[in-house]
Amino acid sequence: GRSQRDSPPALPSGAERMLVLLLLRDEKLLVAARSAGIRPELIRDAGLRAIYEGLQEAGDRHGAWSDMFDPPTLVLVESLLGDE
């Protein structure tokens, strides 16, 4: 059997990017992501993981992005939102 039987597989990088982008746009999806068992350690890209962790910590008390993320992570957030 699998060593982590109840854990979903790690997300492919394209899926990580899309997940984080969706969460940046709609914080209501955070509950669904948590319910689906998506944990920060499943996100391999360090920058995307930092965004995911920040969103999870903020929960529904979203403020300005600059209040939630350190400068390098904020640059990545702005890049993701501008890539559409």
Structure confidence by residue, pLDDT tens digits, 10-69: 666 788 999 999 998 887 898 899 899 999 999 999 999 999 998 888 766 656 667 788
Instruction: Give the pLDDT score at 46.
Output: 92
25 SS3 class: helix
Phi, psi of 8, deg, nearest 5:
-70, 155
Q: Taking the CB of residue 78, how many other CB atoms lie within 10 A of it?
A: 13
Instruction: Give the pLDDT score at 80.
Output: 87
Location of structure tokens 């995911």: 52
DSSP readout, 29-52?
Answer: HHHHHHHTT--GGG--SHHHHHHH
- DSSP H helix total and E strand total for the chain: 5, 0
